[in-house]
Amino acid sequence: MRSDTLTMPTPEMRRAMADAELGDDVFGEDPTINRLQESAAAAVGKEAGLFVASGTMGNLLGILAQVPAGKELIADDQSHVFLYEGAGTATLGGIQVRPLTTERGVMTRSQVEAAFRPKNDYHQPLTGGVTIENTHTALASGATPAEVAAPADTVTFCVSKGLGAPVGSILCGPAEVIDRAARWRKMVGGGWREAGVLAAGGLQALEKGVDHLATDHANARTLAEGLSELPGVRIDLDRVQTNLVIFELTSMPAEQFLKACAERGLKGGGGNGRVRFVTRYGITAADVQRALEVCTEVLAG
């Protein structure tokens, strides 16, 4: 339960990858990649899509294609773009990130408006963009992915996490922006050749992977409710809205708890005194019950 990156491709997905129709994507001639890009863009209500190696690459290309060097990007101070992407925006794009401290990663309109730099002060960088991150709450909230993505100029989403493909993300947005992003992708070494073998997995993920997300959310809710009944666990059930279960411990350090759980076969993640468990494809209701048994045993000492 460390991460939903640990999903494995289904047998059906493996067959689709083996049988994929291929071409050279640098020339735009891989039909499977083209279908994936078109399907992904349609799913989130955008004009065009670009298949890339990872979410980090998708984020980077989306920013580089829209924010000029010397400008500033507003982001949450715990966001992936700010903390976990190797300062790519600064290193490759000359773009400064302005981090905002938020409640649960949600930037308010007033926070963003206050963070915009004045245009008449030559001492300060101009604001060039705003980046927002979220888990796959489209299913949990009842909104469609297109409705969730509608306010954004571009959107990146991953097919290799909860959706179950082995690799890849898609950057979607206006055709003009995606064309600029494709140029940046080439510059950072991200041009594909016959990568339809990977895109076929992504197509299967889009078509079939969504079906199990509701199960992932239900398993996370069961896990969270079970944890809430254990002594020494502090968890806000209102915050468990998707497949991520994050909690604190009052009886032992999080690192000690995670080590003891791992010794019993339950692997989780965490940091800053918190523990995170993630439900995903391949995690069953029985696995959730076993996880609760392990947590009970560890907390009992």
For residues 180-205, give the mean pLDDT: 96
User: pLDDT at position 164, please?
Assistant: 87
pLDDT tens digits, residue range 262-290?
999 999 998 778 999 999 988 999 999 99
Confirm if 220 and 240 have CB atoms less than 8 A apart: yes
Domain assignment present for residue 240? The answer is: yes
Q: Domain with 230 in it: what CATH number?
A: 3.90.1150.10
User: pLDDT at position 140, please?
Assistant: 65
Confirm if 271 and 252 have CB atoms less than 8 A apart: no
One domain, residues 38 and 84: yes
One domain, residues 240 and 256: yes
What percent of the chain lies above the pLDDT cut of 70?
Answer: 98
pLDDT tens digits, residue range 219-235?
999 999 999 999 999 99
User: pLDDT at position 137, please?
Assistant: 60
One domain, residues 61 and 164: yes
User: pLDDT at position 161, please?
Assistant: 86
User: pLDDT at position 8, please?
Assistant: 87
Q: Which long-range contacts (CB under 8 A, 24 or more apart) does 138-141 make?
A: 139/210, 139/213, 139/214, 139/217, 139/242, 140/217, 140/241, 140/242, 141/241
Query: What's the CA gap between 298 and 261, in Å, rounded?
Result: 7
pTM score:
0.89
One domain, residues 50 and 178: yes
One domain, residues 32 and 178: yes
Query: What's the CA gap between 240 and 301, in Å, rounded?
Result: 26
At 15, the pLDDT band (50, 70, 90 cuts) reads: very high
Domain assignment present for residue 283? The answer is: yes
User: pLDDT at position 155, please?
Assistant: 97
One domain, residues 88 and 203: yes
Range of the domain at 156: 7-207
Q: Where are the alpha helices (DSSP H) in 31-136?
A: 31-43, 55-64, 80-83, 88-93, 109-115
Query: What's the CA gap between 201 and 49, in Å, rounded?
Result: 16
Confirm if 32 and 165 have CB atoms less than 8 A apart: no
At 98, the pLDDT band (50, 70, 90 cuts) reads: very high
Query: What's the CA gap between 235 and 237, in Å, rounded?
Result: 6
> Looking at the 3D structure of the chain, how many domains does it have?
2
One domain, residues 243 and 181: no
Q: Say if residue 146's pLDDT is above 90.
A: yes
At 136, the pLDDT band (50, 70, 90 cuts) reads: low
End-to-end CA gap in the chain: 21
For the chain, give the mean pLDDT: 93
29 residue type, one letter: E
Domain stop point among 159, 188, 207: 207
Domain assignment present for residue 47? The answer is: yes
One domain, residues 34 and 140: yes
Query: What's the CA gap between 152 and 58, in Å, rounded?
Result: 14
Residues in the chain: 301
From residue 232, how far is each of 82, 248, 300 by CA, in Å?
32, 8, 9
